[in-house]
Amino acid sequence: MKLDISKIVDKYHLSKVEESILIYIINNIDHVKEIG
């Protein structure tokens, strides 16, 4: 499942920092799922 980051950024009017954090969290969620 790949989320569309740009749609989320537009919807919630995220800053670049918030966008980076969001991407980081999503990437880590994918990583945790692979281990689990």
Residues 1-33: tens digit of each pLDDT: 567 889 989 999 999 999 999 999 888 887 776
pLDDT confidence of residue 31: 72
Decide: helix, strand or coil at residue 8.
helix
Tokens of 33: 């799922």
pTM for this prediction? 0.62
Q: How many domains does the chain divide into?
A: 1
Task: Please check whether residue 8 is in contact with residue 22, taking contact to mean a CB–CB distance below 8 angstroms.
Answer: yes
Which pLDDT value is given to residue 27? 86
In Å, what is the CA distance from 14 to each residue of 1, 11, 31, 34, 36?
Answer: 21, 8, 24, 28, 30
Taking 3-state DSSP, the helix, strand and coil percentages for the chain, each rounded to the nearest 5, stand at: 80, 0, 20
Domain of 10? Answer: 5-35
Give pLDDT, residue 35.
Answer: 65
pLDDT of residue 14: 94
